[in-house]
Structure 1
Amino acid sequence: MRIGIDLGGTKIEGIALGAGGTERARKRIPAPQGSYEATIAAIRDLVAALEAEAGEKGSIGIGMPGAISPATGLVKNANSTWLIGHAFGADLEAALGRPVRLANDADCFALSEAADGAGEGAPTVFGVILGTGVGGGIVVGGRLLSGPNAIAGEWGHNSLPFVLPDELPGRDCYCGKKGCIETWLSGPGFAADYLIENREALSPEGIVAAAAAGNRPAKVALRRYADRLARALAHVINILDPHVIVLGGGMSNVDALYVEVPSRWGSYVFSDTVVTRLERNKHGDSSGVRGAAWLWPEEES
Structure 2
Amino acid sequence: MAIWGIDLGGTKIEGVILSSLDDTTPIVRQRIATEGEKGYDHILSRIAQVLDLLKSASGLKPERIGICTPGVLDPGTQTMKNCNSTALNGRPMLADLEARLGLPVVMANDANCFALAETHLGAIKQQAPKARTVFGIIMGTGVGGGIVVDGKIIEGRHGIGGEWGHNFLDSTGGPCYCGKTGCVETVIAGPSLERFYLEQSGTKKLLKQIVMEAKTDPYAKATVDRLHEQFGRALSVVINILDPDAIVIGGGVGNIDSLYTKGRERLAHYIFNDKVEVPILKPMLGDSAGVFGAAALVG
For the aligned pair, the TM-score class normalised by the smaller chain equals over 0.9
Matched, 1:107 2:105: no
Runs of 4+ more than 6 Å apart: none
Per the alignment, residue 292 of structure 2 pairs with: 290
Contact 2:171 2:181 in 1 (8 A): no
Matched, 1:211 2:214: yes
Is the counterpart of residue 225 in structure 1 residue 227 in structure 2?
yes
CA distance in 2, matches of 1:75, 1:106: 15
In the superposition, relative to structure 1, how do residues 205 and 169 fare at CA in structure 2: closer, same or farther (>3 Å)? closer
Q: Offset of 1:252 from its aligned partner?
A: 1.2
1:91 aligns with one of 87, 96, 99: 96
Amino acid across the alignment from 1:12: I
Cα shift at 1:273: 2.7
Tell me which amino acid in the other structure corresponds to 2:7. D
**Partner-residue secondary structure (3-state), 1:23:** coil
- Deviation string 1:195-246 (CA, Å, 9 cap, x unpaired) is 112221111112112226x333212311210111111111110010011111
Does residue 194 (structure 1) correspond to residue 183 (structure 2)? The answer is no
Identify the residue that residue 23 of structure 1 maps to in structure 2. 26
Q: Paired residue for 1:128?
A: 137
Deviation string, structure 1 residues 26-59 (Cα, Å, up to 9, x no partner): 1110002232111111111111211222231233
Correspondence 1:39 to 2:43: yes
Give the % identical residues. Answer: 46
Separation in structure 2 between the aligned mates of residue 173 and residue 40 of structure 1, nearest angstrom: 29
Residues 264-299 of structure 1 deviation map (CA, whole Å, 9 limit, x = unaligned)? 2111010123211111111011111110110012xx
Structure 2 gaps, min length 5: none
Aligned Cα root-mean-square deviation (Å):
1.4
Q: TM-score, normalised by structure 2?
A: 0.93
Q: Is the 8 A contact 1:63 1:102 kept in 2?
A: yes
TM-score in terms of structure 1 length = 0.92
| Partners of 2:66 and 2:295 within 8 A in 1 | yes
Q: Structure 1's 39 and 168: CA in aligned 2 closer, same or farther, altered over 3 A? A: closer
Letter aligned with residue 111 of structure 1: L
Match of 1:172 in 2: 175
Query: Unaligned 5+ residue runs, structure 1?
Result: 161-166
Please tell me the residue identity of whatever aligns with 2:74: S
Instruction: Identify the residue that residue 269 of structure 1 maps to in structure 2.
Output: 271
Task: Select the residue among 277, 280, 283 that pairs with 2:282.
Answer: 280
Q: How far, CA to CA, are the matches of 1:237 and 1:64 in structure 2?
A: 26
For 2:75 and 2:248, the matched residues in 1 are separated by 27
Cα distance in structure 2, aligned partners of 1:57 and 1:259: 47
TM-superposed deviation, 1:168: 4.1
